[in-house]
């Protein structure tokens, strides 16, 4: 078994995702691996599903804000390990994480989880659980309070 050389870290900008990134950065530094940070914006944000007309300038602003958030997330960690360019994609998070893992040749996905149970998990689903089920590589789940 080879140790990971490409680590994908999906982020939703939550505290748990930030804890997962910190864990991945520390791991990458020890393994001389590269970290690829990914944020997936839901595709339905841009359709009529939300009942509000979204102009092209509004979409551009949403993308600029997300790109800025990605850059602010990575900047303080630069120099601690190697990073690929921050990735900003649209679509279903579960499928996009899987596709991105293949595209960057990820050997490991490190992502945060809230650990929801019961009705909350039933209603919201679990991107982390779905990713673990379909991932082309191992998935390490990090809870915010455990990092």
Is the pLDDT higher at 117 or at 42? 42
Find out whether 90 and 67 touch, Cβ atoms under 8 Å. Answer: no
Average pLDDT over residues 83-100: 95
**pLDDT given for residue 59 in this prediction:** 81
- pTM (2 d.p.): 0.85
pLDDT tens figures, 61-87: 989 999 999 999 999 999 999 999 999
**pLDDT given for residue 78 in this prediction:** 95
Structure tokens at 67: 């790109």
Find out whether 8 and 33 touch, Cβ atoms under 8 Å. Answer: no
State the CATH architecture for 6-146: 3-Layer(aba) Sandwich (3.40)
Q: What angle do CA 107, 87, 42 make, to 5 degrees?
A: 105
Provide the residue ranges of all domains of the chain, joining segments of one domain with +.
6-146
**pLDDT given for residue 119 in this prediction:** 44
Residues 6+ apart with CB under 8 A from 47: none
């Amino acid at each position: 078994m080879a140790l990971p050389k490409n680590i994908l870290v999906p982020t939703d900008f939550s505290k748990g995702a930030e804890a997962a990134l910190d864990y991945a950065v520390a791991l990458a530094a020890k393994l001389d691996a590269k970290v690829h940070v990914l944020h997936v914006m839901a595709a339905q944000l841009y359709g009529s599903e939300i009942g509000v007309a979204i102009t092209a300038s509004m979409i551009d602003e949403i993308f600029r804000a997300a790109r800025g958030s990605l850059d602010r997330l990575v900047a303080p960690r630069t120099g601690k390990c190697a990073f690929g360019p921050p990735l900003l994609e649209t679509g279903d998070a579960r499928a996009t994480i899987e596709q991105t893992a293949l595209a960057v040749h990820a050997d490991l996905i490190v992502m945060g989880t809230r650990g929801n149970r019961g009705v909350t998990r039933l209603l919201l689903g679990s991107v982390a659980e779905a990713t673990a089920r379909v991932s082309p590589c191992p998935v390490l789940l990090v809870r915010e309070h455990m990092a």
